[in-house]
Amino acid sequence: MNIFLINWDYNYKYAQATAKKLENSGHEIIYWTGSLNEPTEETRRKFPNTIFHKHYDAREGKPAKDFADVEFAPPGEDIIKNFYSTESILSTLKQIEKSHKSGFEKKSDYHSQLQYWLGVINKLKPEAIIFAICPHTGFDFIIYSIAKFLKIKTILFQYTLIADRHILLNEFTVSSKLLKTEIEKNKEKKYEVNDLPLDIKNHYLSQTDKSFDPAPGKLKTTKKRYSGVNLLLVRLKLAARSILDFSIFKKVYFFAKKNIGPNYHKEYLKLQSEMDFDKKFVYAPLHYQPECATAPLGTVFVDQILMIKILAAVIPDDWVVYVKEHPYQWLMQGINYTNSRYPGYFEKIAKIKKVKLIPIEIETTELIKKSQVVATITGTVGWESVVRKKPVLMFGYPWYRDAPGIFKVNNVSSCQTALDKINSGLTIKEQDIINYLISFGNISVHTSFERTSDIIRLTMTPEEYADNLAEPIIKDIKDNK
């Protein structure tokens, strides 16, 4: 079978070992994107029949060197119409959203990329395209969409919060068949916490420990980096670089302007309300944007205000939707307005009937505990709620979508139906959570696609890594021929 590998680092020895394992099973790697650099001579010797494409070149719309002089036929209206949803999601992806190009230039670039990838795929005719992670860079999402359109098999790996475990999927909007089967097989079992694999057991116990801070490690690291002495050091380094390149006066001007004039932080603080825990409420924290969690995993709900409007439309009159900004947003993006937090963004939210913005300092665990239900697109808060036996209205496609207490909703009708079920006395049983985690443990894949992963680097050889990752790929291809 001819295979494309997308977003795999072809100069990374672990990825090479996996690719060799695939080739030894009768598959040929005919096109490979992912590394930031050109393939080394050693890489080319190992894979002499593979076309390599640097990640940044692909992202910027530059062709692979093998196709530098090839002019593929441009798509016409008949083709482009089939990819309107692709173009819509593409415009909100991180790399595209942050671009300073005009809307027309972005559209022209998109048509050029669609032209290139349609040409490459039609010429090379891959039978399977394997993505390291959910496609969300730009070019990879175009490849994914073309594969779906042409009915080419796709495989991707969805990152989870539990150690180095990933879930193999064929589409990011469709649950794992293996996981569904395991859940059904185990639903009547009486597993205990001690039956869980050690890494899953430790994760579960830490999440259910009332003294444990459930905030993801990445968030804790970011908070530490952008506060206190660390923040001072970051600013001093920036000032030093600005003096050397003579941009200090320009930066001082814009720093003063954003702090003295309007900014999105001020807008939020002006509109936030005090919490009233005596009210029944839906807790709906915002996602950090732009990021894969909402684009593409949220599909249309990359517009988070749409989610909030639906919630407000279905809750009883004596309820309220409490909305809290994601702490990453002004830690990472600063207080300037951005495309995702534009002037008037929070005013739109505050004007929605039965919706209140609340202070960012209020603890998430307290909000989960006191809420009637939690609403999210794909956020970590959904998983944190489930393990605390709190039901979740889920608008997107997170890794934990098949856990007990999750209600997939996408409009007023489905949201109302879910809320009625929750209000009728729904309870989430610990037994169901443990059984789900057993099922998850049975089908999840220990892997990492990052060179810096200590879990992989310290615990697996390239050969062990290849066995671990290639075997489920080979099995999935064989089972779905």
Looking at the domain assignment, is residue 18 inside a domain?
yes
Predicted confidence at residue 222, as pLDDT, reads 53
- What is the C-alpha separation between 131 and 139, in angstroms, rounded? 12
User: How many independent structural domains does the chain possess?
Assistant: 2
Looking at the domain assignment, is residue 249 inside a domain?
no
Predicted confidence at residue 223, as pLDDT, reads 56
Residue 49 structural domain: 2-185+446-479
Single-letter residue type at 238: L
Query: In terms of domains, do 366 and 465 share one?
Result: no
Query: In terms of domains, do 163 and 308 share one?
Result: no
The answer to whether 387 and 404 have CB atoms below 8 angstroms apart is: no
The answer to whether 381 and 285 have CB atoms below 8 angstroms apart is: yes
Query: In terms of domains, do 327 and 372 share one?
Result: yes
Q: Which two tokens stand for residue 460?
A: 């697996």
- What is the C-alpha separation between 81 and 84, in angstroms, rounded? 6
Predicted confidence at residue 334, as pLDDT, reads 81
pLDDT tens digits, the chain, 481 residues: what are they? 999 999 999 999 999 999 999 999 999 999 999 999 999 999 999 999 999 999 999 999 999 999 999 999 999 999 999 999 999 999 999 888 878 899 999 999 999 999 999 999 999 999 999 999 999 999 999 999 999 999 999 999 999 999 889 999 999 999 999 999 999 999 999 999 999 999 999 999 999 987 666 555 555 555 555 555 665 665 677 667 777 776 766 655 555 555 667 899 999 999 999 999 999 999 999 999 999 999 999 999 999 999 999 999 999 999 999 999 998 888 777 888 989 999 999 999 999 999 999 999 999 999 999 999 999 999 999 999 999 999 999 999 999 999 999 999 999 999 999 999 999 999 999 999 999 999 999 999 998 887 767 766 667 888 888 999 999 999 999 987 6
- What is the C-alpha separation between 284 and 272, in angstroms, rounded? 14
What is the pTM assigned to this prediction?
Answer: 0.90
Query: In terms of domains, do 65 and 200 share one?
Result: no
Looking at the domain assignment, is residue 99 inside a domain?
yes
Query: In terms of domains, do 200 and 125 share one?
Result: no
- What is the C-alpha separation between 160 and 332, in angstroms, rounded? 22
In a 13 Å sphere around the CA of 303, the CA atoms on its Cβ side amount to: 10
Single-letter residue type at 38: E
| Burial of 314 from C-beta contacts in 10 A (0-12 / 13-18 / 19+) | buried
Predicted confidence at residue 195, as pLDDT, reads 98
Closest residue by Cα to residue 66 from 30, 16, 36: 30
Query: In terms of domains, do 175 and 318 share one?
Result: no
Query: In terms of domains, do 452 and 434 share one?
Result: no
Predicted confidence at residue 395, as pLDDT, reads 98
Looking at the domain assignment, is residue 128 inside a domain?
yes
Query: In terms of domains, do 219 and 365 share one?
Result: yes
Query: In terms of domains, do 206 and 176 share one?
Result: no
**Where would I find the H helices in 216-363?**
217-225, 228-244, 248-260, 264-271, 304-314, 327-332, 345-350
Q: Which residues pair with 53 in a beta bridge?
A: 33
Predicted confidence at residue 336, as pLDDT, reads 86
Query: In terms of domains, do 332 and 461 share one?
Result: no
* Strand order from edge to edge, sheet including 373-376: 355-357, 319-323, 280-283, 373-376, 392-394, 406-408
Q: For 255, which DSSP code?
A: H
